[in-house]
Structure 1
Amino acid sequence: MTITTDTRKPYSGNKRSLVLAFDVGTTFSGVSYAILEPNEIPKIHGVTRFPGQEHVAGSYKIPSIMYYDQDGNMKAGGAEAEGNAMVDLAEDYGWTKAELFKLRLRPQTMKLKMNGMRLPPLPKGKTAVQVFGDYLGYLFKCTKNFIIDTHAGGAALWRAVEEDLQVVLSHPNGWEGAQQTKMRRAAVYGGLIPDTDTGKARIRFVTEGEASLHACVLNGLAKEMLTGHPEHGFLVADAGGGTLDISSYAVRGTAPLVMEEIAPPDCVFAGSVFVSRRARAFLEDKLRGSKYGTPDSLEHITKRFDETTKRLFRDMKEPQYVQFGSPLDKDLSAGIRQGQLKLTGAEVAELFEPSIEAAFNSIKQQVETTGGYVKSVWLVGGFAASPWLFSQLQERLDPLGVTVSRPDNQTSKAVADGAVGFYCDHHVSARMSRFMYGVEFLREYNAEDPDHVTRQDRMCELPSGPKLLADAFDCILARGIKVKESSVFTRKYCTEVTSLSTLSVFEVEIWCYRGGTSTPMWINRHAEEFTTLCIVQADLSPLAGSAQSKPGRSGKTYWTIVFSVEIHFGLTEFKARIKWVDSVSFHPNRCSTRY
């Protein structure tokens, strides 16, 4: 990828630093980095040498797999785990292969369609966060060795920056605060950062869609947009192993380059791994009854399909072949001759179809959401290299007046490079809210409202007298609202307490509603559309000294507490806090958020 620097400013820090970007993918992963020198324009580098892959010049990606022994110790990772010798050792000693572990971090609201298959089991005694952390630690070690071995004075460079390394972790558009928290815990577990507030503050998060945007800017997208049709929006589609991440943008300024998100980003499970899963199920059915229908043979043939047929497929009218064996391998009834399994083009196209259809529908939705403002699509990511995916999206989007393009080099490392670009350049100034966010409050009971009457079992009475219904929803931010990075959404609330001791453990639950654009009246705790985004905790005991006691209707003393819930939505990482004012000072930060 040709890295252009005309949109980048010199590093403004006062001492040398290093930023590392880790792109842990469902099937393949990579790392990019930049050495930050004061007053110099940062240059982005990729880690191109990994253990077990030294013979492959300029390889930016390694498989997202590891082997663990029966005691839960990691024995090999990446390309090393794919070597024949390691596979033999794993079989001899009963090691567990960890793969597709990234998918285990997904939000519960995002459902996987695995065609009857399940995710591989986790190694003994390991959680998904720990496995993710082990892999981050492996990538971190590889990156450290690469920098030390590659740069002049590399060892001294590393010693100078290792106590203040900046880390960027990319994740699918659909990941939220809970997933970011898990990834931060994984970074601590893997040894990337210390388990301190200062250490955790060195982690930045960026969506894969936004990272891909910055990669496209590095690849010259900004120039093409500004010299072509700057009045049109564009869409970045990052097609990876697990997810397809869709993000739509518009250029809002050129000096410096400023872009805004113009539609809520989307994330669908339509990556290349699902083509492979469908192929595995298809081959199992096709070869049932054949001597090549054993689990080991199916795994081998599926792997060969991944490595050749899936990557090269471009014409459904032509027969396709999976070369998996020797000239002696033959089973005419199953379509096998001279070590090749013959498939029709239509059969292979059918394996791609659900992923292509999901990609088309997601892009079409973005085009419609922006009122046709989006006129071009940039396809990046490992799956973007598929000629069939590319041609099908071109064909299906053409009637909508949308063109599809893809960078002609190294699209597979776009996210890692773009994550460094995000850290250095920060081109996106506004984002769109994906869902509706709010809190629970108590709504005054109305005996003449049938809806209220049916909820009488949820009624409570405040010490001051009013009868109120629980589970009412108060929207703080609606879906599809453009939010600047500096935007803060605040709502003021009050509550009544009969014991000041409860102030030390005060907390507010932030709810996310995914059901549409109409604001719901009530929170349905059992519906999939409602989920807890986070819980904000605060110690409000400083208010005890200034709060005025009042006599309640029943004669019991109570205190009225006034506070505000403040939410930052315009950042790549969600933040929330509680604010309050007492008679002495203003307290905006003495709170914490947990997911």
Structure 2
Amino acid sequence: MLQLDPYTGNSRKLVISIDIGTTYSGVAYCVLDPGEVPKVLSVTRFPGQEGENKSRDVKIPSVLYYDQQDQLRAVGAEATLQSTKEEAYTQEWNYVKWFKLHFRPASILPGAILPPIDVDKPVLEILADYLAYVSQCAKDFISQSNPIGRQILNSNTPIDFVLTHPNGWTGPQQNNMRRAAVLANLVPDTSEGAARVQFVTEGEASLQFCIATGLGDDVIRRDSYVTIVDCGGGTIDLSTYRVVDNRPIAVEESAVPECLIQGSTMVNRRAEELLREKLRLSRFSTNDDFDAMMANFDTMTKPTFRDPSTTSYVKFGGPRDTDESFNIRRGILSLSGSDMASLFQPSVSAIKAAIDAQLSGVDLSLATLLLVGGFATSPFLRAELQAHADGKGLRMYSPEGQTSKAVAEGALWFYLDNRVRARTARSTYGSSCSQWYQPSNPEHIKRKHKLPTIANGSLVLSSGFALLVRQGTSVTETTEFSFQFASYCKESDELSLSANVLSYRGIKANPTWEDEEPDMFTVLCRIKATPAASSWMRGNGPVGPYRWQNFDVILLLGLTEMRAQIGWWENGVQLRSPATVVYDL
């Protein structure tokens, strides 16, 4: 278990982490008090979780109700109360769930059919509504349970936020989440406000939790490997780390993290499809019947299933609801063990394949799987993965304790005491680059129809590609990648800089021309900056005076979020200025 040092800041501070899950979300917080050792605490009470509706853990449902005018009416546990459901039915409110999965990158589960969102507002605004509600719940809880936290909240001291996301989410999704945080009034729409929002992947947050709480003390040894398998409601996140030191603990990513849309909600999705097909000709094929079946399946049948040789049962009706021809007796539907296993199998197979890919080339005697997350409590899933691990000589543990809170609390441990020293490049990154036209170069001759003339009168080719880093390369947090960007503009033009960062998905070891594989290149983001006027040099070209400069675009790719600067040389000294990473929406 990690021991933190006392907080060395000059003033009190509050940090809140929010783990937005597909089905359930979690919140944790930490009060930073000068001279005191920080404590990571979970928010354990939410409105609507009193009495019989009291949650068994520290999570809040990721659901909302909107009325016919698209106004928010209920969120979280309050949306699951019977009184809310009755009013929602009477007033025809629209129920929203699984909204998180609508943010996934296009490359993850393309063409997936998700529950429709029958609300006339962008998903970004729905996320903002949810963030605003959860944030207010956290502040209320902190005010009621922590005297110092209450003092900080009453003083209107700015709050830092850590937001988690699946392993497969990258810059564009982080950008959307930050925009949602602004819309939710978590932070102002300023550069200072943006800096108060940090991101960490769910896989890395889970690792931080395991290290901090001692769940992996017996397996985290120097030169060993740890694969975190975070089994959530929507996504399965796999991350593999090599332990480079254990006093103090320091790890490095050893493989590109994996994100599978194969969480427990996909088991539910397949179950509903199966039930609708089995009962389509029966009198129990109404939406109300299926809603009742799925509610029982989710809370009882699915989490207790363990043996494919036995029958499972789904309760949905009363003693008079019987139809033996459809295996329904006294309001209970029987499902064969093979049917139940088939609902889990796509998820199980995908996880097994991902584990094998994560540990490819690794001495498996040095590797350990840590299974965390709500779906990891499934006896069937755990048994299947244990058998797979045993067959490969892998150790696998499913740590006891409230690992359902691992991501939210792990996000705070990341903020307080990050133990990941290097990460792997998620993609092959590079930049568009222009080249001076050389009439003797065959590659240039092929492209001579693409020759714009720039301000100094020179001809350039603009379809080149400059490789920065290949996918899977280990990158430390301080490693800098740079490419030169020559900017020329008329004297009257705005003195600004805009350069593209590209992602390459092809198989070439050293791609040099974008136009040879146009479908393999994607603009990941743009780097924008406004260099000081004094940094530009002057020239006089065929169409008049112009300004120019050779800028270095400097990228930090080893962080949980891409950062950028620009640099230039004056009198033998490199000067730098901040740059903005812009994701086109």
Q: 2:126 aligns with which of 113, 122, 131?
A: 131
**C-alpha deviations, 1:54-82, integer Å up to 9, x for none?**
23266301110001112222111111101
Structure 1 pair 526/410, CA: closer, same or farther in 2 (3 Å)? farther
Q: Distance in 2 between matches of 1:180 and 1:369?
A: 31
Matched residue type, 2:201:
T
Q: Is the 8 A contact 1:504 1:538 kept in 2?
A: no
Match of residue 552 from structure 2:
564
**C-alpha deviations, 1:303-356, integer Å up to 9, x for none?**
211111111111111111112222221111111112111111111111111111
Match of residue 512 from structure 2:
521
Which runs of 5 or more residues in structure 1 are unaligned? none
Q: Which secondary structure does the structure 2 equivalent of 1:237 belong to? A: strand
Match of residue 581 from structure 2:
593
Q: Is the 8 A contact 2:17 2:163 kept in 1?
A: yes
Matching of residues 38-187 of structure 1 within 5 Å = 38-55=34-51, 56=54, 59-112=57-110, 114=112, 117-124=113-120, 126-152=121-147, 155-160=150-155, 162-187=156-181
Q: Distance in 2 between matches of 1:520 and 1:85?
A: 61
Structure 1 pair 495/193, CA: closer, same or farther in 2 (3 Å)? closer
Structure 1 pair 251/40, CA: closer, same or farther in 2 (3 Å)? farther
Q: Is the 8 A contact 1:248 1:261 kept in 2?
A: yes
Matching of residues 185-584 of structure 1 within 5 Å = 185-226=179-220, 229-368=221-360, 370=362, 372=364, 375-443=367-435, 455=447, 457-461=449-453, 468-497=460-489, 499-516=490-507, 518-523=509-514, 529-540=520-531, 542=533, 547-551=537-541, 560-582=548-570
Q: How far did residue 441 of structure 1 move?
A: 1.1
Q: Is the 8 A contact 1:503 1:540 kept in 2?
A: no
Query: Number of residue pairs matched?
Result: 581
Q: TM-score scaled to structure 2, two decimals?
A: 0.93
**C-alpha deviations, 1:16-35, integer Å up to 9, x for none?**
21111100101100101111
Q: Distance in 1 between matches of 2:371 and 2:519?
A: 31
Q: Is the 8 A contact 2:430 2:469 kept in 1?
A: yes
Structure 1 pair 85/451, CA: closer, same or farther in 2 (3 Å)? farther
Q: Distance in 1 between matches of 2:246 and 2:363?
A: 24
Q: TM-score scaled to structure 1, two decimals?
A: 0.91
Q: Distance in 1 between matches of 2:136 and 2:68?
A: 23
Q: Which secondary structure does the structure 2 equivalent of 1:33 belong to? A: strand
Matched residue type, 2:387:
E
Q: Which secondary structure does the structure 1 equivalent of 2:467 belong to? A: strand
Q: Which secondary structure does the structure 2 equivalent of 1:91 belong to? A: helix
Asked if 1:9 corresponds to 2:5, the answer is: yes
Q: Which secondary structure does the structure 2 equivalent of 1:383 belong to? A: helix
Structure 1 pair 435/71, CA: closer, same or farther in 2 (3 Å)? same
Q: Distance in 1 between matches of 2:528 and 2:330?
A: 67
RMSD of aligned C-alpha atoms?
Answer: 2.6
Q: Which secondary structure does the structure 1 equivalent of 2:492 belong to? A: helix
Q: How far did residue 174 of structure 1 move?
A: 0.9
Match of residue 29 from structure 2:
33
Structure 1 pair 445/282, CA: closer, same or farther in 2 (3 Å)? farther
Q: How far did residue 459 of structure 1 move?
A: 4.1
Q: Which secondary structure does the structure 2 equivalent of 1:252 belong to? A: strand
**C-alpha deviations, 1:471-501, integer Å up to 9, x for none?**
221111211111111111122232444x133
Matched residue type, 2:176:
K
Q: Distance in 1 between matches of 2:160 and 2:513?
A: 42
Alignment identity in percent?
37
Q: Distance in 1 between matches of 2:371 and 2:497?
A: 47
Q: Distance in 2 between matches of 1:297 and 1:333?
A: 17
